[in-house]
Structure 1
Amino acid sequence: MPALNYHHLRHFWTIAREGGLTRAAEALHIAQSALSTQLRALEAELGQPLFERRGKRMELTEAGRIAFDHAETIFRTGGELLDTLRGQRPEQRRPLRIGAVATLSRNFQLELLRPLAARSDVELILRSGTLRELLVQLDGLSLDAVLSNTPVAHDAASDRVVALLAEQKVSLVGRPGYGRLRFPDDLRTTPVLLPGRESSIRQGFDLLMDQAGIRPILAAEVDDMAMLRLLAREGNGVTLVPPIVVQDELRQGVLEERAEVEALREGFYAITQRRRFPNPLLAELLARPAVSAG
């Protein structure tokens, strides 16, 4: 049975880490032409192209990303072998790369990812950003999935797949002692703190206000859900959020639900890509029951 050429694999690994043939050849102290020849030999051995050229850049293909992850593990094992012989016993961990939009509830993310985060054989790599930024990373194969509270429109030319993970009710919450709020009438006089205008629940809320003929008193609008949660505890008005966002504050009595906005629901989505070599950890994550709507 043919054995993998680890010499070629290390050179491929260096190309990927250095970002191109020129810098890798300098790091390895070999000719660029020789390095290119060894890369082609490895690709022939694996039966898959590992890089594709985009202008002057070399970017990993899907097979290249898989090979790179395995190479990272293989060459990290050399250092772990030394650690083991010195009395330490490190564990190999499989990476799962998740991007989450800034407007997504941290509590929702924690409940979803907690089972994998607790495993010693899993390395969770979490990135935050705008949906546009994260989708670029997903398309570039540097993320396995993007978590979002905004679905992506279907595009026949795209390999993206959108799965609904959960739906949460949406409420107006505020500091205790003010009693129930009559929705929507009391919003004529009660300041309201809202998510940013790109939020799906903000768009639905604005539509409800237009239909009711009410121009709400806007205390602030905040794109970052963690900051929205902090500000909700400070003012005398109300904040539009799914209760899961402020579940600790509700449990502790720092905030109370003043009114449920029954016409609104917030969806939580996982955006992935159809791949020939999907990350098996991603399948485990998406196979879990949806997070409770509370």
Structure 2
Amino acid sequence: MLNYRHLYYFWVATKEGGIARAAERLDMAVQTVSTQIRELERALGHALFKPAGRSVELTAAGAAAVRLAEQIFQLGEQLPLAVREAAQSQGVRLSVGISDGLPKAAVRHILEPATETPGLHLVCVEDEFDDLLADLALHRLDVVLADRPAPANPNLKVYSHPVGDAALEWYAPAGLAAAADIGFPACLERMPLLLPTRHAAVRARIEDWFERRGLRPQVAGEFEDSALLAIFGESGMGAFPATEWSHDELTGHRALTLVGRCTEVVEHFYAISAERRVQHPLVQKVLAGRRTDVGNGLSA
């Protein structure tokens, strides 16, 4: 078993810029700190420091060790707060990572079974997909929602569960939609279009649909964030696609017009967990709430 006290002395030495300064911070003898770090090196089977003039510097193995040590002790610093919050909370906490650009209506729809839980404390964090998977593997998150499954990676033990499929629909301000009266989808050639960037998994499916339909779109803008895309569409910049789960918000709150339904293009959604057999009761609710009726905007 790794001796975390030895690892801590090594980490402090890297933060302080040397063993002597680490010993001063730890209020220990230099020889003691040096001995403990050598014990760590023996346990790991590699030297972590190498001479550099009158001082020392990290080896390649040492640099790799300090990156992981940084994560370990950052988590350690969070432990007292997490325990205190858990002890004081009367409800159930659910920490959800949301892949950047994921439609907010889809997030709300997927999490709906969990949000009905009394005393729920929901924490949603939006970030890059790869960064969220790293946080999930370190158990900083309970689940990650994304528009793609986690890539195969033997060093990253995470598991993807399909939780929804939603067909796309096209929306535009009433004035813009009225100007294109030749039927859907041909009318899309008469309007400027706003699209998700190629960062979104659905972008390739949209372009494939354009090609199969023989459409030559006039792309006026590309957006990673679906909410920002809708705002610019509402302003009159162009027609844009959104999942059918967004219909009520777009036609009601934003007063946009439905131009046409595109059941041939479906956006897929996944809940990614750090366990093959999910233990968190609220993540279990999310997975149990999945359905298969794509026509109704629900799926498994």
Distance 1:278 1:248, change over 3 A: same
Equivalent position to 2:146, from 139, 148, 172: 148
Give the alignment partner of residue 157 of structure 2, picking from 156, 159, 180. Answer: 159
Shift of 1:95: 2.9
**Shift of the alpha carbon at 1:260?**
1.4
Aligned match of 1:200: 201
Spell out, residue by residue over 1:189-248, the C-alpha distance to the aligned partner (whole angstroms, 9 max, x if none): 221111111222221111222334433111211110110121121116311111323531
Q: Give, as a single letter, the amino acid of the residue that structure 2 aligns with 1:293.
A: G
Alignment correspondent of 2:99: 101
Normalization by structure 1: what TM-score?
Answer: 0.67
Q: Distance in 2 between matches of 1:211 and 1:76?
A: 54
Deviation at 1:158, TM superposition (A): 4.2
2:19 aligns with none
Residues 115, 206 of structure 1: alpha-carbon distance in 2 compared, 3 angstrom cutoff: closer
Q: Equivalents in 1 of 2:201, 2:145: separation in Å? A: 14
Q: In structure 1, what is the Cα distance between the partners aligned to 2:203 and 2:133? A: 22
1:122-174: CA deviation from partner (whole Å, max 9, x where unpaired) = 32221101212212222232222110112334446642211111111101111
Opposite residue 220 of structure 1, the aligned amino acid is G
C-alpha separation in 2, matches of 1:218 and 1:293: 27
Is the partner of 2:174 in helix, strand or coil?
A: coil
Partner residue, 1:171: 169
Bigger Rg over Cα: 2
Q: Distance in 1 between matches of 2:163 and 2:274?
A: 16
| Structure 2 alignment gaps of length 5 or more | 16-21, 37-62
**Partner of 2:274 in structure 1?**
273
Aligned counterparts of 2:291 and 2:125: Cα–Cα separation in 1: 22
One-letter amino acid matched to 1:168: A
Aligned to 1:124: 122
Q: Provide the C-alpha distance between the structure 2 equivalents of 1:212 and 1:289, rounded to a whole number of angstroms.
A: 31
Cα 1:72/1:240, change in 2 over 3 Å: same
3-state DSSP of counterpart to 1:97: strand
Once the 2 structures are TM-superposed, how far is the Cα of residue 114 of structure 1 from its aligned partner?
4.2
Corresponding residue for residue 297 of structure 2:
293
RMSD of the alignment, in Å?
A: 4.4
How many percent of aligned residue pairs carry the same amino acid? 20
Residue 103 of structure 1 aligns with an amino acid whose one-letter code is G
Change (3 A) 1:156 1:219: same
Distance verdict in 2 for CA 1:191–1:284, change over 3 Å: same
**Corresponding residue of 2:53:** none
SS in structure 2 opposite 1:55? helix
Q: Which residue number in structure 2 is paired with residue 55 of structure 1?
A: 65
Residue of structure 2 equivalent to 1:112:
110
Instruction: State the distance in 2 between where 1:201 and 1:264 align.
Output: 8
Q: 1:275: how far off?
A: 6.4
> How far 1:266 moved relative to its partner?
0.7
**Residues 181 and 258 of structure 1 are in contact (CA less than 8 Å); yes or no, is this contact kept in structure 2?**
no
CA distance in 2, matches of 1:269, 1:72: 30
1:96 to partner: Cα distance: 2.1
Assess, with a 3 A threshold, how the Cα gap between structure 1 residues 73 and 92 changes in structure 2: closer, same or farther: farther
Q: 1:256-267 counterparts in 2 under 5 A?
A: 256-267=257-268
* Structure 1 unpaired stretches of 5+: 1-11, 38-52, 81-89
Aligned to 1:234: 235
Determine helix, strand or coil for the equivalent of 1:113.
helix
Change (3 A) 1:232 1:243: farther
CA contact (8 A) 2:112 2:286 kept: no
Of Structure 1 and Structure 2, the greater helix share is in 2
2:96 corresponds to which letter in structure 1?
I
Amino acid at match of 1:267: H
Normalized against structure 2, the TM-score is what?
0.66
Q: Take 1:163 and 1:153, find their aligned partners in 2: how far apart are those partners?
A: 13
Q: Residue in 2 aligned with 1:41? A: none
Give the number of equivalent residue pairs: 253
What SS does the corresponding residue of 1:146 show, helix, strand or coil?
strand
Counterpart CA distance in 1 for 2:158 and 2:182 is 41
The 3 A distance-change label for structure 1 pair 96 and 206 is same
Q: Counterpart of 1:231 in 2: which secondary structure?
A: helix
The whole-number CA distance in structure 1 between the counterparts of 2:239 and 2:278 is: 47
| Cα distance between partner residues in 1 of 2:230 and 2:99 | 16
